[in-house]
Chains A and B, each alone.
Chain A
Amino acid sequence: MCTSPHRHSLHCILPPYILSQIAENGSPELRAMAVRSLLVDPTMRIVRASTAGPVTGAIARRRAAAGNILTPSPLRTIRDAGGEPEAPGATVVRREGDAPTGDVAVDEAYDGLGATFALFWEAYQRNSIDDAGMPLDATVHYDQDYDNAFWDGTQMVFGDGDGELFNRFTISLDVIGHELTHGVTEKESGLAYFNQSGALNESISDVFGSLVKQRLLGQTADQADWLIGAELLTAKVNGVALRSMKAPGTAYDDPVLGKDPQPGHMNDFVRTNQDNGGVHINSGIPNRAFYLAATAIGGKAWDQAGQIW
């Protein structure tokens, strides 16, 4: 839209993708004009998705100064490691706004990041991991027979599982929410990943990971399964999930994996040097506290207990 009495060709003629190129590669004067044009362009959101990178700093300040505050939206990039132990993966396979690829891990990661972004923004008005629109990056198909997912400080990394004990790690929405919440915790509270503070760190990821799933399914607290990773274990494993927030210690009891070691009460707190001082073990205690609070309050847990947490 042209509202300025002085029309520059950049403002009216050039399509957004060319403006975006100029904003990235033009001379300083042209870049400034291109950015101004993009700021008044109603398709800014699409351009932002295609150029990758956080909408912070100068652009954000100009937008705010112009009173042009847009509803935050996710900025997702999914990369494929192709079975190599490298993250970020070498190939970008889906960017924000792209259609589904047909690769189930890629599309699950994309959708899971979107659902997690939506919970944090729509329920808690938090704009992404850092509350400043941080892009959401993920690498899938990490390594071979890799039974894990982790947050590496900048992105989420997902293995495909070994097919024997574990399915692909993008299969459980709450696991995606769990990993992204580690980023939120890192930016927000910096809970040391060791002993009790580490168990709290883990529990917060389980809580909001579960809330991502409950919100997407529209479940009330008494309808939720309160399981973490319910889809991850293969049929060969005697278990239902990685963890149970409702009944810690009951998620699995398997000849290969062993028995779920989670306690559900401080009376049973586990002192150990393994697992960073038991961060995935003692998280069962605050997990159950959240479950008890959410079910006692009732209703939708992300609207009630989640606000308190």
Chain B
Amino acid sequence: MQTGKTCDETMTGEARVRIEGGLAHFPGLAKEQTVSFDDLATAERQEIASLADQADFFGCTPAKDTAGPDGRTYTVGLTIAGRSRELRIAEPIRDPALAKLVSAVRRLSK
């Protein structure tokens, strides 16, 4: 883990998310959303980086869960300070840190 980078205000990177599933299928919403760290406030960059560290996003073993009925599956991609990874994460998300990370990426990449 590189928790020290969470305080780096010049940190570069981007966050991506593609959402599948849910209570209904909306073709217009089934596309990847991306936000560059350049377009985020320092506190928002730090939030994503900190949550990524807490969830061990770059080191964790990918779960093989599939979403339950009407649950969503998120394909989350993060590139932070040279590290890059993409994970598929299905609801219900039991890991609280990972759930908060997905929530933050989803909201900030809108």
Footprint of B on A, CB under 8 Å? 84-87, 143-153, 157, 169, 175, 178-179, 182, 185-186, 193, 201-202, 205, 229, 242-243, 254-259, 261, 274-276, 278, 280-281
Contact = CB atoms under 8 A, between A and B. Distances in A.
A148 B69 contact: no
Nearest to A186: B69
Interface stretch (B8-16, B26-34, B78-86): B26-34
Contacts of B24: 229, 242-243, 280
A182 B22 contact: no
Contact of B96 (A86, A146, A152, A254): A86
Contacts of A150: 22-23, 67-72, 91-92
Contact of A148 (B23, B93, B96): B23
Contacts of B87: none
Interface of B: 20-30, 66-72, 91-93, 96, 99-100, 102-103, 106-107, 110
A281 B99 contact: no
Given A145-B107, A257-B28, A275-B25, A85 B99 contact: yes
B72 A157 contact: no
Contacts of A86: 96, 99
A68 B29 CA distance: 53
- Most chain A CB neighbours (cut-off 10 Å) among B26, B29, B67: B26
Nearest to B103: A85
A144 B107 contact: yes
B68 A153 contact: yes
B43 to A, nearest CB: 16
Contact of B92 (A152, A186, A274): A152
16 contacts: A144-B107, A147-B22, A148-B70, A149-B70, A150-B23, A150-B68, A178-B23, A179-B69, A182-B70, A193-B68, A201-B69, A242-B24, A243-B24, A254-B28, A256-B29, A281-B25
A163 to B, nearest CB: 13
A182 B91 CA distance: 15
B22 A148 contact: yes
A157 B91 CA distance: 11
A274 B20 contact: yes
Contacts of A157: 92
Contacts of B66: 193
Given A85-B96, A149-B70, A257-B26, 17 more contacts: A85-B99, A85-B102, A144-B103, A145-B107, A145-B110, A149-B23, A150-B67, A152-B91, A179-B69, A193-B68, A201-B69, A229-B23, A242-B23, A258-B26, A258-B29, A275-B25, A280-B22
